[in-house]
Structures are given as structure tokens and as C-alpha cells.
Amino acid sequence: MTATSPSFADALARAVSAKASAVLVGLDPHLALLPEEYAAAIASGERGRIAAAVADFCRRILDAVADLAPAVKPQVAFFEQLGPPGYEALEAVVADAKSKGLLVISDAKRGDIGSTAAAYADYHIGLGAKRPMPTLPNLGADAVTVNAYLGRDSLAPFLAYVPEGRGLFALVKTSNPGSADFQDVATVSSGGARNYEMVAATIDDIAAGYVGGCGYSSVGIVVGATHAAEARALRQRFRHLWFLVPGYGAQGATAGDVAGCFDAQGLGAIVNASRSIIFAHREAKYARFPRSAWAEAARQAALDMKAELAAALTR
């Protein structure tokens, strides 16, 4: 990669440094948790109305946190569940976030083969002349999460956009308890490496071709904050991989748990919190905010998380 090539990894490093924040705000508009002002829209059962409420909610969250986070991560499932209007909302939210200077990671966890994988890549992160139909509107996120179970060739269509400035994060060790079922199984052929270590090593090998000036690659991995020891070991071993770290907050991980995901300069990881930020108004900790001030509660939660991470990194 030449110095003049756009690089998602470098853009992410610049944003983390400029905002002095590794907070990745997850946009998971779970309908049952939205503020009560949207209750009538949701109760209508009309997808268009519900999707408009979701888009409005996300817009106001973005207004509240845009200066506190380098990136946001819309969870595609919560938009897809609303069908066509849900995708309208998703596209509006991504465009809104980009207009506010935020990097956008589409949390789609897609994984398929051949021309199917290409269709997913084109939609989520496609841009420029490399697209089959460059003028066709698409989501155009800066990066996307992928599931690599189908193998290296399933990633190729996504990698085609990395030299254009896009990124991807492959699932390695997920934050849920069930991640142990397959990801933790030890393998024979990789010298006893567990499956998630084998996947990480493969992604690291791929990522080596896309390292930016910041020292990190535009191809990263997802490592759950709920597995602090494993994450720390991965950080020590794979020094060029950005970590997307879910599990903070609602899933129970703390700033201390994620500290091992960062390098000595405080780079190398972005820590996702979704519910604990966007639905902070439901937490006892933020009960001092009036019910209608849910966006302010979200801002405070993002501020608090930013401070917690900073404190953990300077210890």
C-alpha cells in the first residue's frame, strides 16, 4: 500500500487520537427498549412508522455522541427486522453518521461464497469503479463485520475494497458464553491452537497485506471483552490487527477487562457498547436524567465510558 492510498486503519487511528476516545457506539435499536416517546409509533405495527422512529432515535443518538466516538456500529439485524423501511432507516443512519464525521462499521456478520459474497461486499462497503454498477446506491459503510467460517476465499470480495479505504473485522472470539462451543476447541494441525487462534492467525496473515501508516491493518478481528485473558494474549501475538471489542457494559465487561486489548500508545482497539449507552436512560445510574432527556443520558454514558477507558489505559 502506498502512502497515498486511503486506509481505513489510518482513518480509524486518526479518529481515535483526535477524539481521544476508543468508544465504539453500537446502534442496536431494540424496539422494546426505545424511549417512550416512540411507543405509539411502535404500537402502530406499521413498519414505515416504526422505521422512521428508529431513524429518528439513531439520529438523536448520533447528535449526542458524535464528538465522543471515532466510530459507530449499526447492528443490521435490528434494521432488517423491519424489512424495506428498515433498510431505508439503515441507509439514512449510515449517511447521517458519515455526515457527522463518524466512521461507520456495518455489523452484518455476513459470510458467503463467490458472487454471493461479492453482492454482500458491494452493498455494505462497496465504492468506486470496482463495483459492478458504480452508480447503484448502496450502504457504503466504512467497514463491515464478517464471519470467516467459509474460508479465505469467502473474504476475497470484501478485501477487494480494502485498497479503496474500506475495512473489515472478522469474528474470532465472540462475547457470548456459547463462543466456547466451537471457537475454543483445540486443533491438531495448528500445533494445539484453538479454533479462534487459528482463525486469528489466518486473518493476521491476510491483514499483513493491508497495513497502513499507523502500523495497523484495515483488516481486523472481533474479540469479546468478556474474554480478557484470551484478548490480552491475542493482542501480544497479533500486533497489527485492530480489535473490535464487544461485550462492554450490558454484557458485563469492564474497562479493566479491555485494557489488554490496547497497545502501549492506547491504540489498537475500539470498544463497543450498545445498550449501556443508547439506552442509558433505563439504567439506575442515570436516573437523574428526566425521561425525555434520554439523549443527554446517552451522552453522559458515552462520556463516562470514554473516561473509564482512559483511566484503565493510564494505570
Among 193, 198, 315, 182, which Cα is nearest to 256's? 315
Which CA distances in Å does 33 have to 30, 103, 240, 312?
Answer: 6, 25, 37, 29
Q: Interface residues for its own copies in 51-80 (CB under 8 A)?
A: 75, 77-78, 80
Binding mask 273-312 for its own copies (x = CB under 8 A): ----------------------------------------
Q: Interface residues for its own copies in 121-160 (CB under 8 A)?
A: 122-123, 132-133, 135-139, 147-154
Contact 235, 263 (CB under 8 A): yes
Indicate whether 109 belongs to the interface with its own copies (CB under 8 A): yes
Q: Interface residues for its own copies in 34-53 (CB under 8 A)?
A: 42, 45, 47, 50
Q: Within a 10 A sphere around the Cβ of 137, how many other Cβ atoms?
A: 8
Answer for which of 7, 106, 183, 276 binds its own copies (CB under 8 A) is 183
Answer for which of 1, 119, 127, 303 binds its own copies (CB under 8 A) is 119
Q: Which residue matches cell numbers 406499521?
A: 46
Name the minimum Å distance from CB 235 to its own copies: 21
Provide the grid cell at 303.
462520556
CB-based contacts of 3, cutoff 8 Å, min separation 6:
213
Phi/psi of residue 254, each to 5°? -110, 175
Q: Which amino acid appears at position 184 of this protein?
A: D
Name the minimum Å distance from CB 116 to its own copies: 5
Among 152, 127, 148, which Cα is nearest to 138's? 127
Name the minimum Å distance from CB 223 to its own copies: 13
Contact 255, 312 (CB under 8 A): yes
Answer for which of 7, 21, 106, 179 binds its own copies (CB under 8 A) is 179
Name the minimum Å distance from CB 188 to its own copies: 4
| Catalytic residue from among 98, 100, 109, 130 | 109
Q: Interface residues for its own copies in 216-235 (CB under 8 A)?
A: none
CB-based contacts of 53, cutoff 8 Å, min separation 6:
34, 38, 41, 42
Phi/psi of residue 251, each to 5°? -90, 0
Binding mask 1-40 for its own copies (x = CB under 8 A): ---------------------------x-xxx--------
Annotation says 19 is catalytic: no
Which residue, 123 or 262, is less far from its own copies as judged by CB? Answer: 123
DSSP string of 272-293, one letter each residue: EESHHHHTGGGSGGGTTS-GGG
Q: Interface residues for its own copies in 186-215 (CB under 8 A)?
A: 186-190, 192, 195, 198-199, 202
Name the minimum Å distance from CB 93 to its own copies: 13
Q: How far apart are alpha carbons 255 and 165 in whole angstroms?
A: 30
Indicate whether 115 belongs to the interface with its own copies (CB under 8 A): yes
Indicate whether 86 belongs to the interface with its own copies (CB under 8 A): yes
Name the minimum Å distance from CB 11 to its own copies: 24
Looking at the annotation, which residues are catalytic?
Answer: 109
